Amino acid sequence: SSGINAEYGGLFREHEIYRIDHYLGKEMVLNLIILRFGNELLRSVWNRDKISNVVITFKEDFGTAGRAGYFDTSGIIRDVMQNHLLQILCLVAMERPVSVDASDIRDEKVKVLKFIKPIELDDVVIGQYVGNPDGKTDDARTGYKEDPGVPADSKTPTYAMAKMHIDNDRWAGVPFILKCGKALNERKAEIRIQFKDTPSDIFGNMCRRNELVIRVQPSEAVYCKMNVKSPGMSFNTVESELNLSYHDRFEGLDLPDAYERLILDFILGSQTNFVRTDELAEAWRIFTPLLHKLDAGQKEPVQ
C-alpha cells in the first residue's frame, strides 16, 4: 500500500486521487452522518455513558463464487474488514466535523483511527467454511478447500471477528466488534448499537437493552428496539421496534448503485466519500501486524 501511494504521490496530488471503497457509496452508510449529527435525540446518547457496545456485521450466503484464486491470497480481513467495516466504524465513531466538506469529514475519520491500537491475536476469531452435505445448492455443499483454485492446505480465513477499542473520551471502554464472513446463513450488512441496561429496573428485570440497528443491505432500514407495555390487561413489558423501512416509507424508491454514486462524485470533483492517503495508512497500521501473524500461521482458522 505504501509503495503504491508513493507511486501515486509522484504523479498526482492528493486532491486528484479518488480511492474507491464502494461501501462509502451505500445509502445507509451515507445516512450515518445525518442520523448522528442531525438528530439531537441520538447525538446526546452517542457515547460511552449510554452505549454498551457496537457490532458491525457483514455476511454473505455464498462462497468465493469464482474468486477463489484472488480470495486465497487476501482472505476476509483484507477483503472486507480492513476497508468496508473499518470505514463504517469511522463514521459511527467520529466526532462532529466542522462542516460536511470533504476535508473536514476525512480529518475526523483519521482522528478516530489514530485512537485505535493495532489488533492483537487474542482479540480475533477466524474461521474457514466447510461444505454442508445437506445443502440445497452445489455452492452450499462445496467447502472452501474444495473450490478449484484453493490449495488443499489453505489456512486463509473466510470468517473473522475482531474486537477493537477507541481510546478517546467518547468511546473509552466500549468494544467495537467487527464480524464478516462468507458462506453463512444469510446475506446481511448492518450496524447494531446496543445501549446499556436500564438502571434500577422497576419492572422485575423484564426490560431488555435498547438497540439501534442500521441495516445497510438488503432492504435498507433503521429501527430501534424498545420496551413497551404488552397489549391487553397485563402490565408486563415486551420488546418492540420503531421501524423505518426505506422501501415502505419512500414509495417508488429507486436507490442508485454505490458505484454509480461514487462515479458521479468523481465527475463532480467531490472527495467526501473517497479514502485519503493518511486514512489508508492508519487503517493498515491497525491491521498489518495482525495480518503478518496470521500469514505466519500463528492462529489457525476454526472449521
Which is catalytic among the residues 15, 22, 84, 247? 84
**Is position 84 annotated as part of the catalytic site?**
yes
Does this model's pTM top 0.85? My answer is yes
Question: What is the grid cell recorded at 58?
Answer: 457483514
Residue type, 12: F
203-212 pLDDT, tens per residue?
A: 777 778 889 9
CA 96 to chain centre: 19
Q: Of 143, 140, 146, which Cα lies nearest the Cα of 128?
A: 143
48-94 pLDDT, tens per residue?
A: 999 999 999 999 988 887 777 788 888 899 999 999 999 999 999 99
Sign of CA dihedral 29, 34, 40, 43: positive
Q: Of 82, 219, 264, which Cα lies nearest the Cα of 157?
A: 82
Higher-scoring residue by pLDDT: 17, 33: 33
Residue 125 pLDDT grade (very low, low, confident, very high; cuts 50, 70, 90): very high
The per-residue pLDDT for 2 is 65
Instruction: Give the 3-state secondary structure of residue 72.
Output: helix
Beta carbons within 8 Å of 187's beta carbon, 6+ residues apart: 59, 60, 61, 62, 217, 218
Q: Are strands 188-195 and 175-181 parallel, antiparallel or unpaired?
A: unpaired
Kind plus residue range of the DSSP H or E element containing 29: helix 27-37
**Mean pLDDT computed over every residue of the chain:** 88
- CA torsion, ordered 293, 294, 300, 302, to nearest 10 deg: 130
Measure the CA–CA gap between 194 and 178, rounded to whole angstroms: 14
62-71 pLDDT, tens per residue?
A: 888 777 778 8
Measure the CA–CA gap between 259 and 177, rounded to whole angstroms: 27
